[in-house]
Structure 1
Amino acid sequence: MASSSSQRKYEVFLSFRGEDTRKGFTSHLAAALDQKQIQFFIDDEELKKGDEISPALANAIETSDISIIIFSKDYASSKWCLSELVKILDCKKMNGQIVIPVFYHVDPSDVRKQSGSFGEAFVEYEKNFPHKVKKWRDALTEASSLSGYDATESRTEAELVKEIAADISKKLEDMSDSTDLDGFVGLNSRIEEVKSLLCLESRDVRIVGIWGMGGIGKTTIASAVFHQISRHFQGKCFMANVREESNKMEAIHVRDEVISQVLGDKNLKIGTLVIHQNIRKRLRQVKMLIVLDEVHDGFTQLESLAGELDKFTTGSRIIITTRDKQVLDKCGVNYVYEVEGLEHNKALELFYRKAFRQNNCPPGFLGLSLEVVHYARNNPLALEVLGSSLYQKSKQQWEDRLHNLRLISEPNIYKVLKISYDELNSKEKEMFLDIACFFKGEDLDLVTRIQDNPISARHGLNNLVGKSLIKISSWNRANRLQMHDLLQEMGQTIVCQESVKEPGKRSRLWDHIDVSHVLKKNKVKNYLFDFYNARRDAPLIFL
């Protein structure tokens, strides 16, 4: 349920007369929407002051995808309700908002013709609000002609509430399906590839992993797929950023939140490692869709949950996104979709949209654009950050930025990519930094042989591959270590931060300028040391 003072976007706005239905039908409908995890706005009586609807109510109506109007016996006796109705229908005309009337024990013809209790209310309005009467009458007539629900039909109130909630959920999912994905360059083909791995037609339980480096688009793909297919499932949960959530609370509580959302029970709390048999039984009765986003190594509770679900519900699907391929192995993933950089033309298109706010490149910037895209290695996050940083900049500023980019990573990309580095053990960190500073492009066997413990080194390299921090590619009859430029610069930046002002105090030196500086300084130190030993009795004077 939404806070009435919030300025967020809602999926559903509920319009009703509080005295008639707030504690009855409307409260039941709100509970049903909440169980479906639908974000809705329900007003507080405090917002209804003065003669006009408040800015908070107006904003809630404008930002909602669907409005439900509950016409009750005394609905028309509230000028607030009528003002809301006018605003809702204005949004329908301007924004294409979906409007659904519910006739709660009132005759739709009374609403349409303003007869019965609706006619009685207008006797007073004709005297006191003549300038508003026409708008209110027109709004009632228009709304009554829309397709909706009649509570007087032969069914229980519980059945009606359930039917409305299911219909709203379906409409919202259809809206997600029809969302224009062109704004996400290159996303459509990736969505279809993941959906083909999920194979919704199959009755088995499938766990699909989406694996790739930071900023490559794993979460975006998983989110789009979730919204497109969720209507096929009874229970669903998108657990965003499991890594961060598990740092805030114990892993077992995150697991409980997943089960709570799937079962639609906000009060469910397990609190123990073992899932109670009664809850297992409930899970077996629900065809579920779960997305575990950004799962990291060691998150055993969700790995355990994912591993057990194949014993539960036929047709269920689990999607796990991660930077670490070993996580997918532990979770028993059936199929893995590796997310790679965008195709060259798509990468250019995304960059143009960010750098120029258009799909084409202005004259004089093509060469620079190609250089930036090559630098970013078609990584969507890199392209977005770099493109945005170059927007409305001069050609000289572009050239300066490209020069600087070779020396330091963009902060936003750095923070995203550094998460994977921080999770490495001490030996893996050393190996990663060695590759970033010295061994990129070198023969895998050569690099392994020169290590103190070749077997341990190979194991460490495999872990780096699994975390998408390096790749091993076959080139010129050798397996060579490859690393994304952004990752290489991140590693080099980590080393530089060991001593910002004094390169000689860093653990590694690879830049010829830094090496020359350290050698010259050491040469001066050695000369002074020799001079001092030769003339111990003479004072040292530094000019």
Structure 2
Amino acid sequence: MASMSTEEALSLSSFSSSTPRWKYNVFLSFRGEDTRNTFTDHLYDALKKKGIITFRDEEKLETGKSVSLELFKAIEDSRIAVVILSKNYAFSTWCLDELEKIIVCMKEKGMIVLPVFYDVDPSDVRKQLRTFEKAFVAHEERFRENMEKVEKWKAALTEVANLKGWHLVNRPESTIIKNIVGDIWHKLSYAFSECNEDQVGTISRGEKLESCLAIGSNDVRIIGIWGMGGIGKTTLARVVFRMVSENFESCCFLSNVREESEKNGLVPLQKLLILQLLNESISIHDVDNGVFTIKNRLRHKRILLILDDVNQLDQLNKLAGNHIWFGSGSRIIITTRDKHLLQMADEIYEVEELDDGEALHLLSLKAFKTDHPPKNFLELSKDVVRYAKGLPLAIEILGSFLFNRGVDIWKGTLKRLKEFPESSILQKLKIGYDGLQETEQKIFLYIACFFNHEEKNSVVQTLHYLGLYPDVGLRVLADKSLIKMNDFEVCVHDLLQEMCQEIVREECREDPGKRRILWSFEDINSVLKNNTGTEAIQGMALKLPELKEANWNPESFSKMRHLKLLIIDNVHLLRDPKHLPDSLRVFIWSGYSSTSLPSSLHLTVI
């Protein structure tokens, strides 16, 4: 028999607040006279200590309600059913009704059913032998007029006996209970990933990362989770943390390492690490003392440690400096935008963008609180997904903004995004740009604004002519997940490209002639037609898909004394320029209309 438990123990899982489809994590079905004060009670306590919300007993059923209806509702509201099959289980019609309902929910709602064979043989349950046979002799006599009901009970017992579970005969209860709780925790982790709107697409990724961890191995392993900002590294780390934490003596998730260390230094993080892993508040005088404490106190302990959003090598050196700091079987997971920081990692998992289906699902959950968008919003939703280019951060921000808004707002938002990128998205992405050296920032801006999806060797050659040391700079940008490159191409995510363009616009929003680089026809045409260029301009690249005429002021380049790069493609000038600055290092003008270049241009330095 069963009923509800409303105790909500605090734990790292936070399942109760994170799985809105289910009111309870676990429903316990058992025969009270057999196991209430022994096995069932011990299992219930173990589940409660783990923070797993469990429905048990009938003691708190609300007065005045039908017990069976309340009970069936509790079964429907539970993610997992644990069926404790004991010798007298089948004598209870209440238990058999529970079981029949549980099997229905398993088939129709995907309920997870875990049988425990408590001092009974699974084959006796499956075939209704021994005490189960005696029980059904009585039921067949009692329900002679309703044999269909009896057959359903038998079928339910056969179904549950065919499921994988635990057979408890002459085995320590404590060991079995530990295994059951661990398995439930693991399964709830997957359930959490399935239903939490912030974690769409993490199930398959989590499984891949879990295989990298090789939990069964006793070596110490360090795993890196690497990817661009907003791609879902922290979300994935949290899911995996829940999936595997049962396998360790103690666990610690250090969030926002970059932000916390910048604000308060590393000592508070060292203290928190010790507190969570040892459950002790230890006085740490300085960073070196913290390193000594971590190494000496944890070297014999099997732990799981997550260091989230690491951006400096010193953070790793002072929090998890070496494999030998930790006990056999320990696992350290590091999330970072910078691949270069993962030199000591045993494996690196690169987080990729959501595919279109995953992105649409996430947007639907955020904007409509359903798995799929309404028909009248489907095309608009697809437009938002196309804009986000698989970046969970962008989908979550836009989905939350568009929640409960009408079609007109959706259309207006999409139109606005074409001219004014969403600032809250760009600010989060800009963290990576702000961490670059000046030369690396220049390379990134040039690639994003001029050379996105262009041939790698050509880009390298151009950057070399500009004196920007591309061999080093491109590697740094790739390691920091700001660009992707292979042997043939260099490319930047569309939203990172928007971020770079916005950085340049902010240099002088009203006057493009005072910005470092220009790439759009509107801005370049305005500057060169009205002769408003200044010495601030260092690069100008105009690549048009088809030929256009332009009536530019012949003197328009005369003030651009720091212009190093000029690329013009598919522009027919009505008037040739009188001057080109001798600061130019890269000059490409496809379809230049005149037969000669201005005499002021020194070709020897280009």
Q: Could you tell me the TM-score, scaled by structure 1's length?
A: 0.63
Q: Deviations over 1:70-100 (max 9, x none)?
A: xxxxxxxxxxxxxxxxxx9579999889xxx
1:76-475 superposed matches below 5 A: 89=60, 173=185, 177=189, 179-182=191-194, 183=196, 184-273=199-288, 280-298=295-313, 300-329=314-343, 332-451=344-463, 452=465, 456-473=469-486
Distance 1:283 1:404 in 2: 53
Q: Does the 8 Å contact 2:440/2:473 carry over to 1?
A: yes
Q: Does the 8 Å contact 1:297/1:326 carry over to 2?
A: no
RMSD over aligned CA atoms reads 4.1
Change (3 A) 1:364 1:457: same
Displacement after TM superposition at 1:11 (Å): 5.1
Describe the SS at the equivalent of 2:393: helix
Distance 1:360 1:277 in 2: 53
Q: Does the 8 Å contact 1:408/1:489 carry over to 2?
A: no
Describe the SS at the equivalent of 2:500: helix
Q: Does the 8 Å contact 1:348/1:373 carry over to 2?
A: yes
Describe the SS at the equivalent of 1:360: coil
Q: Deviations over 1:233-285 (max 9, x none)?
A: 11221000101110111224423432332222113425241557676343122
Change (3 A) 1:440 1:234: same
Change (3 A) 1:279 1:466: closer
Q: Does the 8 Å contact 1:256/1:270 carry over to 2?
A: no
Identity over the aligned pairs, expressed in percent? 39
Partner of 2:499: 490
Q: Does the 8 Å contact 1:472/1:482 carry over to 2?
A: yes
Partner of 1:23: none
Q: Deviations over 1:375-405 (max 9, x none)?
A: 2111111112223333344444433322322
Q: Does the 8 Å contact 2:13/2:242 carry over to 1?
A: no
Code of the aligned partner of 1:449: Q
Out of 523, 530, 543, which is 1:521 matched to?
Answer: 530
Displacement after TM superposition at 1:373 (Å): 1.5
Q: Does the 8 Å contact 2:266/2:287 carry over to 1?
A: no
Partner of 2:170: none
Q: Does the 8 Å contact 2:338/2:479 carry over to 1?
A: yes
Displacement after TM superposition at 1:12 (Å): 2.6
Q: Does the 8 Å contact 1:11/1:38 carry over to 2?
A: no
Q: Deviations over 1:197-219 (max 9, x none)?
A: 00100111000111111111111
Distance 1:410 1:355 in 2: 16
Distance 2:364 2:421 in 1: 20
Partner of 2:153: none
Partner of 2:35: none
Describe the SS at the equivalent of 2:424: helix
Distance 2:462 2:250 in 1: 53
Distance 1:10 1:431 in 2: 57
Distance 2:293 2:501 in 1: 53
Change (3 A) 1:360 1:179: closer
Q: Deviations over 1:171-199 (max 9, x none)?
A: 99568536432232211111111111001
Describe the SS at the equivalent of 1:293: strand
Distance 2:326 2:400 in 1: 46
Q: Deviations over 1:150-177 (max 9, x none)?
A: xxxxxxxxxxxxx9xx999979956853
Partner of 1:481: 490
Higher fraction of helix: 1
Distance 2:200 2:426 in 1: 22
Change (3 A) 1:227 1:272: same
Distance 2:60 2:404 in 1: 40
Describe the SS at the equivalent of 2:9: strand
Higher relative contact order (CA 8 A, sep 6+): 1
Unmatched 5+ stretches in structure 1: 1-8, 14-35, 40-61, 66-87, 98-162, 531-543
Change (3 A) 1:311 1:520: same
Partner of 2:169: none
Distance 1:348 1:180 in 2: 19
Q: Does the 8 Å contact 2:456/2:490 carry over to 1?
A: yes
Q: Could you tell me the TM-score, scaled by structure 2's length?
A: 0.57
Describe the SS at the equivalent of 1:294: strand
Distance 1:404 1:186 in 2: 28
Displacement after TM superposition at 1:465 (Å): 0.7
State the number of aligned residues: 390
Q: Does the 8 Å contact 2:353/2:389 carry over to 1?
A: yes
Distance 1:488 1:386 in 2: 18
Change (3 A) 1:11 1:222: farther
Displacement after TM superposition at 1:302 (Å): 2.6
Describe the SS at the equivalent of 2:309: coil
Q: Deviations over 1:4-30 (max 9, x none)?
A: xxxxx99538xxxxxxxxxxxxxxxxx
Code of the aligned partner of 1:470: I
Distance 2:375 2:315 in 1: 55
Code of the aligned partner of 1:462: R
| Correspondence 1:505 to 2:517 | no
Code of the aligned partner of 1:456: Y
Displacement after TM superposition at 1:290 (Å): 0.3
Unmatched 5+ stretches in structure 2: 1-5, 15-22, 27-58, 63-69, 79-174, 535-551, 557-606
Q: Deviations over 1:83-133 (max 9, x none)?
A: xxxxx9579999889xxxxxxxxxxxxxxxxxxxxxxxxxxxxxxxxxxxx
Change (3 A) 1:284 1:524: closer
Distance 2:231 2:449 in 1: 23
Q: Does the 8 Å contact 1:252/1:301 carry over to 2?
A: no
